[in-house]
Amino acid sequence: MEFINVSQKIFHKGIIHSSSSCESDLFKADNILSEKGHWCTKKRSAAIKEYSIIDYEKEVPVDYIKITASSGGSSTFPNGFRLEGSNDGESWTLLYTENNTSLEENIHEVRLPLTILRFLKILITDPAVLGSNYYSEIGKIETGIYGTAEISASSFIGLNTPEKLFSSDSGSYWESSQNTDSVMESINIDLGMIFGINRILLGSVSEGFPESFHIETSVDNEIWITLLHEKNIDAENGKKYFWETDIRQARFLRFEAPGKKLINGKYGLKISQLLISAAPVNHHHTHT
């Protein structure tokens, strides 16, 4: 079983494998991987399909694709396109199709079921039309994991907010408020879309790791089902602990744990990470 962290944002680097055309070397397809410039297909007197293929040089997980328009904005952005994925560059699966593009702030964002791919093809099926010219312009394309859409906690202290649970900075952590008695603390997470959750990872710091916790999941934020219920945890400092589960379809996750007695005599929680992993979609059918 594959365990893909879907709670942290990440974008993959790639190279251009091939493309159908460009108006000139200043507007080649390589520009879709750059912060500057854009790809402009050859200007033609009739509409034809154009494409560009990105090679990430290894298989990578993807649930989010961001396509930016050129300085021409929506006027030169493709009216229709589709996205295809492949692991070998020969057999392709259809990921997304757009037949009537509508841009918001010159950006087109696509959320996909969690997918493993090496190659990404953008196939322009309906180019822009300006005067008698048929062509399209595309700025940067970013591919990767969207990360958590929203997170909140019952309490936190100072800069140790719940967002620190997804930080890659060493030494960062979420810290609940401190109380004279043990109270139940909670963390609520919205992944933004439904995933097949299959593993939860928690990280400890110097103190405050929960002795027990309860995790529930939901697809609609209304009906909740228990995913994990752990008791009598005696965690070591600075360690990571994970729990594998059966694949659970869920978008929302709720973590609850009572405050633990700290060195200063008060009760609270400190957790360095709460990472959520999911299984990718298995594409049984491919299209060539």
pLDDT at 102: 83
pLDDT at 284: 47
pLDDT in tens, 226-275: 999 999 999 999 999 999 999 999 999 999 999 999 999 999 999 999 99
What SS3 class is residue 66?
strand
What CA–CA distance (Å, rounded) separates 175 from 44? 60
pLDDT at 122: 98
Q: What is the mean pLDDT of residues 129-139?
A: 97
157, 164 in Cβ contact below 8 A?
no
Q: What is the mean pLDDT of residues 72-78?
A: 95
User: Any idea which of 85-94, 97-106, 125-134, 170-179 has the lowest mean pLDDT?
Assistant: 97-106
pLDDT at 205: 95
**Which residues, in sequence order, are bridge partners of residue 215?**
228, 255
pLDDT at 283: 56
State residue 105 phi and psi, 5-degree precision. 55, 35
Given a cut of 80, whether residue 285 has pLDDT beyond it is no
pLDDT at 101: 87
Neighbours of 284 (CB within 10 A): 6
pLDDT at 72: 93
State residue 94 phi and psi, 5-degree precision. -80, 125
- Own/partner pairs, 86-89, CB within 8 angstroms, 24+ separation: 86/117, 86/118, 86/119, 86/121, 86/286, 87/59, 87/116, 87/117, 87/118, 87/119, 88/118, 88/119, 89/17, 89/53, 89/55, 89/118, 89/119
Given a cut of 70, whether residue 63 has pLDDT beyond it is yes
Q: Which residues contact 218 (CB under 8 A, 6 or more apart)?
A: 224, 225, 250, 251, 252, 253, 254
pLDDT at 239: 96
Q: Which residue has better confidence, 288 or 211?
A: 211
Q: Which residues contact 245 (CB under 8 A, 6 or more apart)?
A: 197, 198, 199, 200, 227, 228
Average pLDDT, the chain: 95
